[in-house]
Structure 1
Amino acid sequence: MARGWRQSKNRIVKNVFCFGCLFVLPLLVLAVIVYSKSKNVESLPAPRELPSQKFDDSPQFYLIALIMSDPTKSATRKAVRETWLSNTHKDVKHYFVVGSKGLAQDVLQNVLEESSSYHDMVILESLNESYSSLTGKTLAGFQWLHSNHNFTFLLKCDDDSFVRMSPLIEQLRKQPQSHLYWGFFKGGSSVFQKGKWKENDWFLCDTYLPYALGGGYVLSSDLVEFIAKNAPLLQQYKSEDVSVGVWLSPLKIHRVHDVRFDTEFKSRGCYNEYLITHKQSANQMREKQANLLKTGKLCQSELRVRYSYNYNWTVLPSKCCKNFDPELP
């Protein structure tokens, strides 16, 4: 009887144990699976974000000047820094843009030392410095600026341009604050068929499309963004200012022609109203700066070399710019 009771007890214990196994074992398996997945997740490296060059907390500049320069022209850059760039504005920044591909070692070293001293140079290592690379250089400068800075407007000019920065900013605040293309416009010009300006890839029409001359023009940041983001699809022409005009040609934007931009291939003279004067030597820049400091005027005496015009936007480009006006600066 005792033996039967023990056998019955053993069967009960065994059944309870089996029942417990059936209940507990799945829980153990589930726990192992969860633990294993947890360990696997923890052991995987966190996904890497692509490095961003433009941060939300980066400084907000109202105007950034990109000044196209040649690596060898350190004396010219010195004159620019000591003249029209010497009037500092907290919401304005400038950069000299140079190409460094193929430079002689001593020239490159000088450029690097200058950059280290002034912290105001954009050195494009993939671009040779030549007129034929100017469009690519300008485009790369726009891309760099869009990726690295928050800004409202861009002033593109050359290192032989003299800018009256304070009046320029004052007048800029009166312009549309978006979709703005501001400069001295030209339209209907014959396409160059020879020389350094020869356009081998031009096929659009018999004349150039309207464009602001490259001695200096202003673009709002949204237009810079448009160009920078579409850079891989943009045809580059020999002249950078012609190229910018083509890139922006289909857009519904504010094209503002301003006779105070003396930005043609040759200066029209000297007028106190000028905001930008192109084709200036270092000595001429220093003279203009001295005039401004001494008298508040740009010119010792106003001088006309060539006539100006108001752009007629109501006619085709071939007829836009025929009415030269001796009353205009």
Structure 2
Amino acid sequence: MARAWRQNKNHVVRNIFCFGCLFVLPLLVLAAVLYSKSKNVESLPVHSELSGQKSYDSPHRLSHLIILIMSDPTKSATRNAIRETWLSVNHKDVKHLFIMGSKGLAQTVHQNLLEENLSHHDLVILESINESYTSLTAKTLAGFQWLHSNHKFNFVLKCDDDSFVRISPLIGELHQQPQSQLYWGFFKGGSSVFQKGKWKENDWFLCDTYLPYALGGGYILSSDLVEFVAKNAPLLQQYKSEDVSVGVWLSPLKIHRVHDVRFDTEFKSRGCYNDYLITHKQSANEMREKHANLINAGKMCQSELRARYSYDYNWTVLPSKCCKKFDPELP
């Protein structure tokens, strides 16, 4: 009797053990798989540009467009106006960064930047750059280098903090452009080299005029061109004008140069047209007005107006003749 009881007990124990295995083993396998996957995930440092650490996106995350906005450390009010207007239109594939230099910066200004970045997390401080107009080319080049090292992206829009950008139509148009080797903006060619004033080019010796370049109020480069510039930075001659410099750096390359009259990016705005994708030389109040018009009326300009004539760039002639035919029908 006792023997039969022991046999029955052992049989029950074996059944319980086997029954438990049906549930426990799959859980153990699942745990092993999850652990194995976690071992393959790369641990990346947290963004902390102002604290001197490098910032990285996940290698699997891709920002379609990164907007680099050249800004002065003291112009926090202007940055806030941009955040409240054209940057308030959110796009999951768009990231913005304000680029500025901090070399020789007053401690109070630097502290203000720290506090601003704690609130907005969108400042890139280049500690090797002295903030001034004469260092704009170095700042742009360093910004491209930093961007190439720290982010994955398809395109970069470089613009100034006095430019107003209509992000939604810009993204729509960007999909229609070449997706690589793209240099897109409002081009100028055959311009006389500045011999005096703050734009004087002491180091220019290439030819009697500037090479074709997209004006600096705003232009777009595909990531492969940013990579080219970033990797060759130590060999690149820097000229006084940042946009002229970019045109020179890219001049020997076989790329898509796209001239677009919807980029109102010259030293002075050509007026107000609802077709404009970027409008340069805008005050904070003008940005707020344009933004309010877009929200309330669905168009940027209450009434379109022309201050200067535009042109289509003629790529079939030499630069000295490229841009002579002003067209009153163009915005």
For the superposition of Structure 1 and Structure 2, which TM-score range results when normalised by the shorter chain?
0.7 to 0.9
Give the aligned residue type for 2:124: V
Shift of 1:52: 8.7
- Stretches of 4+ aligned residues off by more than 6 angstroms: none
Q: What number of residue pairs does the alignment pair up?
A: 279
User: Which residue pairs with 1:157 in the alignment?
Assistant: 159
1:37-116 matches, cutoff 5 A? 57-116=59-118
User: Which residue pairs with 2:35 in the alignment?
Assistant: none
Distance, in Å, in 1 between the alignment partners of 2:69 and 2:306 is: 26
Shift of 1:56: 5.9
Distance, in Å, in 1 between the alignment partners of 2:81 and 2:93 is: 22
Distance, in Å, in 1 between the alignment partners of 2:103 and 2:60 is: 29
Give the aligned residue type for 1:198: K
The match for 1:117 among 96, 116, 119 is: 119
Give the aligned residue type for 2:99: V
User: Which residue pairs with 2:137 in the alignment?
Assistant: 135
Please give the secondary structure, in 2, of the residue aligned with 1:177. Answer: coil
Q: Is residue 306 of structure 1 aligned with residue 308 of structure 2?
A: yes
User: Which residue pairs with 1:32 in the alignment?
Assistant: none
Please give the secondary structure, in 1, of the residue aligned with 2:288. Answer: helix
Distance, in Å, in 2 between the alignment partners of 1:253 and 1:168 is: 20
Distance, in Å, in 2 between the alignment partners of 1:115 and 1:59 is: 22
Distance, in Å, in 2 between the alignment partners of 1:104 and 1:148 is: 27
Give the aligned residue type for 2:318: L
The match for 1:189 among 176, 188, 191 is: 191
Which shifted more, 230-239 or 98-107?
98-107
Could you report, residue by residue, the CA deviation over 1:43-86 in whole angstroms, capped at 9, with x for unpaired residues? Answer: xxxxxxxx996566352011000000000000000000000000
User: Which residue pairs with 1:207 in the alignment?
Assistant: 209
Distance, in Å, in 2 between the alignment partners of 1:95 and 1:139 is: 15
Could you report, residue by residue, the CA deviation over 1:217-270 in whole angstroms, capped at 9, with x for unpaired residues? Answer: 000000000000000000000000000000000000000000000000000000
The match for 2:233 among 217, 231, 234 is: 231
Distance, in Å, in 2 between the alignment partners of 1:299 and 1:185 is: 24
Instruction: Pick closer, same or farther for the CA change 1:148–1:196 going to 2, 3 Å.
Output: same
Unaligned runs of 5+ in 1: 1-50
RMSD: 1.2
Distance, in Å, in 1 between the alignment partners of 2:56 and 2:230 is: 14
Unaligned runs of 5+ in 2: 1-52
Give me the TM-score of the superposition, normalised by structure 1. Answer: 0.83
User: Which residue pairs with 1:30 in the alignment?
Assistant: none
Query: Percent identity, aligned pairs only?
Result: 82
Please give the secondary structure, in 1, of the residue aligned with 2:88. Answer: coil
Give me the TM-score of the superposition, normalised by structure 2. Answer: 0.83
Distance, in Å, in 1 between the alignment partners of 2:76 and 2:55 is: 28
Give the aligned residue type for 1:243: S
Distance, in Å, in 2 between the alignment partners of 1:56 and 1:186 is: 38
Q: Is residue 278 of structure 1 aligned with residue 280 of structure 2?
A: yes
User: Which residue pairs with 2:293 in the alignment?
Assistant: 291
Q: Are the equivalent residues in 2 in contact too, given 1:98–1:122 (CA < 8 A)?
A: yes
1:252-271 matches, cutoff 5 A? 252-271=254-273
User: Which residue pairs with 1:22 in the alignment?
Assistant: none
Distance, in Å, in 1 between the alignment partners of 2:261 and 2:143 is: 26
Could you report, residue by residue, the CA deviation over 1:162-216 in whole angstroms, capped at 9, with x for unpaired residues? Answer: 0000000000000000000000000000000001000000000000000000000
Q: Are the equivalent residues in 2 in contact too, given 1:67–1:95 (CA < 8 A)?
A: yes
Give the aligned residue type for 1:180: L
Shift of 1:116: 1.6
Distance, in Å, in 2 between the alignment partners of 1:52 and 1:105 is: 22
Instruction: Pick closer, same or farther for the CA change 1:79–1:55 going to 2, 3 Å.
Output: closer
The match for 2:182 among 180, 200, 204 is: 180
Please give the secondary structure, in 1, of the residue aligned with 2:87. Answer: coil
Distance, in Å, in 2 between the alignment partners of 1:70 and 1:206 is: 32
Instruction: Pick closer, same or farther for the CA change 1:52–1:75 going to 2, 3 Å.
Output: closer
Please give the secondary structure, in 1, of the residue aligned with 2:69. Answer: strand
The match for 2:249 among 232, 236, 247 is: 247
Give the aligned residue type for 2:244: V
Q: Are the equivalent residues in 2 in contact too, given 1:58–1:149 (CA < 8 A)?
A: no
Shift of 1:152: 0.3
Give the aligned residue type for 1:82: E
Distance, in Å, in 2 between the alignment partners of 1:58 and 1:102 is: 37
Q: Are the equivalent residues in 2 in contact too, given 1:164–1:275 (CA < 8 A)?
A: yes
User: Which residue pairs with 2:6 in the alignment?
Assistant: none
Shift of 1:103: 1.0
Distance, in Å, in 2 between the alignment partners of 1:97 and 1:307 is: 32
